[in-house]
Each structure stands twice: as C-alpha cells, then as structure tokens.
Amino acid sequence: MTFRSPWMLALLLLIPAMVAAYISSRRKRAVRADALAGQGLVTTSSEARPSKSRMRVRRHVPFGLFAAALTVLVVGMARPMATVKTPQREATVILAIDVSNSMNAADVAPSRIEVAKAAARDFVKLQPSAVRIGVVAFGDGAVTVQSPTTAHADVLDAIDRVSIGGGTSLGQGLVVSLGAIAGKPVTIDPQALGSDSAQVDIGYFGSASVVVLSDGEETSPPDPVSVAQVASVAGIHVNTIGIGTEAGTVVQINGFSVATALNSDVLKEMASVTDGSYHEGNDPGGLEAVSKSIDLHFKIVSKHTEVTGLFSAVGAVLLLAGAVLSVLWFGRVV
C-alpha cells in the first residue's frame, strides 16, 4: 500500500499519547474512588471491583473502539492507494482502413477514402468508453496507426492522419489487425493458410472485432479469406464495410487511367467465415448494426486505486459502535 499524502501519518503519534492519557486518567479515578471509599463516603464502584471481570473489560471497549476509529481515519487522511482487482467490461475493435490508390476514386462523393474516414469517425462516436479502439491503415502493406485505446479522441486524430498510397492487400491489413488485438506482431506463413488455417494459433480474443473499410479490390497476397479463417479460430469477428459502387469509375494512378469498382464478394466472404456482417458504406444502419454486435466481456483487472473512502467508512462505523456501546453500558458517550 502506498500513500498520496504520507505526511499525514505523523498524526498517528497522537494515538499513543491519547492512550497514555486515558490510562493515567483511569488510574487517578481509581485512586480517588478508593480514597473516598476508605473514608466511608462512597461505596466501591462496580468498576473498581476486581471480581467483576466483565465490567472491567466493558469499561475499556468504547475507548478502544474510539482509538481504533481515530487510527483508521488518520490513515485515511493520508490517502492510501491499493491494488484492487475489479471486474471491468471491455471489448477491442480495430478499424482497418483501405488506403490504396483505388480509394481516391470518386464514384462516391467526395471520394472513397473520405467516405471511409467519415464512416470510421461515426463508428467511433457510437462506441461506449469501455471499448478499446485501434486503427490500422493498409495498402500493399499495413501499419498500426493507433494501438487499441479507450482515448477515443486519439482514435479520431489517427483516422484523420491516414493517407493514400500503393496497391491493396486485404490479407496483410487483417494480419496486422490481428497483431494489434493480440498486442504483439503476428506472422502467418502463407503455406499455413488455406486448408490448414485452423492450425494457426494466435490466442483467443472473444471480445474483439475487426471492422474493414475497403473497396475490396485485392492486388497483393496473402489471401484475405484464409486470414479471416485464422481470425475465426481466434474468436475474432470480421465486419466489412464496402466503400464504392459496383458500377465503379476510372481513377488516375501514376498517370494511367485505371478502372475500379467495389468488389463486395470478397468482403462478404471475409465476414461470413467469422460470423461477422457485411454492409455498404451508404447504408445508414450498417455502422449501428456493427456496433450492436460488439460483445462487451467482463474482465478482472488490477488497478492502483485510492481507497480513502473505505477507511473513512470503517472509521465512521467504529466511532458509531463505540458511541452506542458507551451509551448502552454507561449512559454517556464519553
């Protein structure tokens, strides 16, 4: 246990002085009672009779409770900190945003990438504070722009920072997303994918999800559906948001005109193998449906927490108990 105001513990030195004063007072009282009894002025009180062992104990109990209460309250004034295990609801969601060149297409206004960013921001705003959110940007490769955090303002800043470039590797984006959830780099051997995907073990994360925002155009390995099967074994749901139109358009890439269109089939298959869902970017209820599917699990976490309130409550109970017993036994509080 540690203390935020340890200097307050110096007040504990007053407790022994108070006990000494109490003992001295009781002795002087007993001497006066014996002197008066010897003169025949009063009868020896029941408190002074050594045969009344129960009364001898009773007369010290209220003071003992008062002294204990003051000790506990002084410790509370020092603002004690303790490591407490408490249940906490939490979930982890990774927003995997496609930043390939095809996301510059304007078949949805103002562009696919801006629609994806807007959808990602709207999704973050729908989440309760207990949801940890991370951001992964993927093109030919993938990078974690923001590790999972409950600081949703940082997540919104990370979404704003993503920029366009390169081809598209849905599989690599999903691999890095799995690593962000696991909290460690995940390496998946392409030879282990396909029929052996179930043999790839990255751990189990039943309260985690990946939300992929992409046009679904795939230009680079690994196979995203096989990686999605790895996610399924890990208990991770993959939800996909299709950005663009199936009619498509033409986008300029390095001086060349390239036709591009939404490939919803691969996105639907990625979602299907993980019991996730697919929605189109222009579906107003899609993000809300994904939000409702997030499963908040209870987890026992250790937190270094101030427990002043607990000490205050215990001290108050001890004071009250001492006062009640003193009134019941002696007809006075002190």
Question: DSSP letters of 42-89?
Answer: SPPPGGG-TT-HHHHHHTTHHHHHHHHHHHHHHHHHT-EEEEEEEEEE
- Write down the pLDDT at residue 48: 44
CA–centroid distance for 3 within its chain: 23
Amino acid at the residue 289 = A
- Cα separation of the two ends of the chain: 34
- Write down the pLDDT at residue 278: 94
Domains and CATH numbers, the chain: 2-82+304-330 (no CATH), 99-295 (3.40.50.410)
- Show contacts of 279-284: CB within 8 Å, 24+ apart: 279/239, 279/240, 279/241, 279/242, 280/241, 280/242, 281/108, 281/115, 281/116, 281/119, 281/213, 281/241, 281/242, 281/243, 281/244, 282/108
Q: Is 243 left (phi over 0), alpha (psi -120 to 50) or beta?
A: beta
- Show contacts of 198-204: CB within 8 Å, 24+ apart: 198/229, 198/233, 200/230, 200/233, 201/233, 201/234, 202/178, 202/230, 202/234, 203/234, 204/234, 204/235
- Contacts of residue 296, defined as CB under 8 A and 6 or more positions apart, other chains included, come to 89, 90, 91, 128, 130, 131, 207
- Write down the pLDDT at residue 24: 83
- Write down the pLDDT at residue 283: 80
Contact predicate 168/98, CB 8 Å: yes
**pTM for the full predicted model:** 0.68
The segments of the chain whose pLDDT lies below 50 read 44-51
CA distance 232 to 238: 8
Contact predicate 83/300, CB 8 Å: no
The H or E element containing residue 304 is strand 297-306
In a 3-state reduction of DSSP, which class is residue 317? helix
What residues are paired with 132 via a beta bridge?
A: 92
The percentage of residues in the chain with a pLDDT greater than 70, rounded to a whole number, is: 87
- Write down the pLDDT at residue 49: 47
CA distance 52 to 43: 15
Question: Following DSSP, what letter does each residue of 225-256 receive, concatenated?
Answer: HHHHHHHHHTT-EEEEEE-S-SS-EEEEETTE
